[in-house]
Amino acid sequence: MFNVMVTANDNAWEEGAYIWDRSRVLEHTAEDIRAPLLALTPAVLEELAKLPTLFMYEQSADGVPRIGHIRRIQQRGSDIRVIFEFDNSIPPLTDEAIQEVRWDLQLTDFEFSRTHWAVKDGDLFVILREHGLIGAVAPEAPEVEPEPVAPAVEVRPAKVSLVHGRDEAAKHAVARFLERRVAVDVIILSERPNRGRSILTKFREEADGAAFAVVLLTGDDLGHLRPELVPAGEAAPVAVRRPRQNVLFEMGFFIGQLGVERVCALVSPGVECPSDYDGVVYVPLDNQDGWQRRLVTELHAADVPVSATWWQA
């Protein structure tokens, strides 16, 4: 097998490193190859790093196709950074040469107009040699240093911000679940050092880089409409349990920063939910731990890497 990497950025492969969004990896890959690789676990990424790679450009981009090898893969949340080098024993290819062997390389028309990372079946060097694009002896992958300065695959857990009120039990239960079983890096503002920062500055800096936000809507406050504002004929207002104002502010911040698809609110029983946040997923924070599965479902939908054994208590 071999990798095919296509980019729309002019001369991007000359930089020696490239950042992929997880959603573009394994596009245009045959299903029998794609299925066992889809989880993109460290073990999968390590296997992909061993494959020779054809670096190409979209039709509208400037650049020369090259053959090379992946030296290291770093994963942080949904971003996958590939560090690579060209095989200098193989001369640069041409777009015309790629077009001539596209059938054997299993390249479809749309792949020349789509930034993606595909994995193809077959021996890349045999294909190129049969078409006279490389010499008779296939180049070998470079040997791995006996003491590498960094692992071939380096996975950094995704950052997930946890917004909470005064319910310490709920905060600790959700935080420990995310850290120990889901295996993400949980950011809790109150547990971060101040370093002389204002609350707003601290919040913005600590929230930077978060891939997802979990908001705990717990009934820390009581509130109701002022009696003089109640329309005539309606019953007197009754105090209801509400989240604290700072929790709602921070939830709004993350909706604007990340989008509603990357914000999940866990709601304690009997708590009034704000009506202005259409699209936000509200998950009941029950005592039967049903919220755990639903939260993991939302993390999966947002392409946040989740431990494969999260369900094991």
Instruction: Give a yes or no: residue 81 inside a domain.
Output: yes
Question: Residue 135's pLDDT is what?
Answer: 73
Query: Same domain for 72 and 180?
Result: no
In a domain, 313, yes or no: no
Would you state the pLDDT for residue 146?
Answer: 40
Tokens of 6: 């296509």
CATH number at residue 163: 3.40.50.10140
Out of 154, 181, 208, a domain closes at 154
pLDDT value at position 248?
93
First to last CA, the chain: 38
In angstroms, rounded to a whole number, what is the distance separating the alpha carbons of residues 285 and 165?
14
Q: Show the beta-strand stretches assigned E in the chain.
A: 2-7, 17-21, 52-57, 66-76, 79-86, 116-120, 153-156, 159-163, 185-187, 212-217, 221-223, 240-242, 263-267, 281-284
Amino acid letter, residue 100:
E
Would you state the pLDDT for residue 273? 86
Residue-wise pLDDT tens for the chain (313 aa)? 999 999 999 999 999 999 998 889 999 999 999 999 988 888 889 999 999 999 999 999 999 999 999 998 988 777 888 999 999 889 999 999 999 999 999 999 999 999 999 999 999 999 999 998 887 554 555 554 444 445 566 667 889 999 999 999 999 999 999 998 888 899 999 888 888 888 889 888 888 889 999 999 999 999 988 988 989 888 888 899 999 999 999 999 999 999 999 999 999 999 998 877 767 889 999 877 789 999 999 998 888 888 777 777 6
Residues 6 and 148 in one domain: yes
Please indicate, yes or no, if residue 307 is contained in any of the structural domains.
no
Residue-level pLDDT at 152: 64
Q: Do residue 169 and residue 124 come from a single domain?
A: no
Assess whether 138 and 208 both reside in one domain: no
123, 154, 185 — which closes off a domain? 154
Burial of 282 by CB count in 10 Å (0-12 exposed, 13-18 middle, 19+ buried)? middle
34 lies in the same domain as 69: yes
- What's residue 145's pLDDT? 46
Alpha-carbon gap, residue 78 to 1, rounded angstroms: 24
Please identify which residue in the block is written with the tokens 């077009």.
99
Nearest to 206 by CA among 226, 190, 229: 190
- Residue ending a domain, choose from 154, 182, 203: 154
Same domain, residue pair 7 and 101: yes
CA distance 267 to 289: 13
Q: Who contacts 305 (Cβ-Cβ below 8 Å, separation ≥6)?
A: 22, 40, 75, 77, 78, 155, 157, 158, 183, 184
For residue 311, tell me if it sits in a domain.
no
Q: Based on the fold, state whether residues 142 and 187 are members of the same structural domain.
A: no
Do 70 and 108 fall within a single domain? yes
Same domain, 115 and 213: no
Residue 68 and residue 84 in contact, taking contact as beta carbons nearer than 8 Å: yes
- Structure confidence at residue 265 (pLDDT): 95
Kindly state whether residue 12 falls inside one of the protein's structural domains: yes
Residue found under tokens 């066992």: 36
Residue 260 structural domain: 158-301
What is the tally of structural domains in the chain? Answer: 2
Task: State whether 141 and 236 are in the same domain.
Answer: no
Instruction: Tell me the C-alpha distance between 138 and 27, whole Å.
Output: 27
What pLDDT, on a 0 to 100 scale, did the predictor assign at position 144? 44
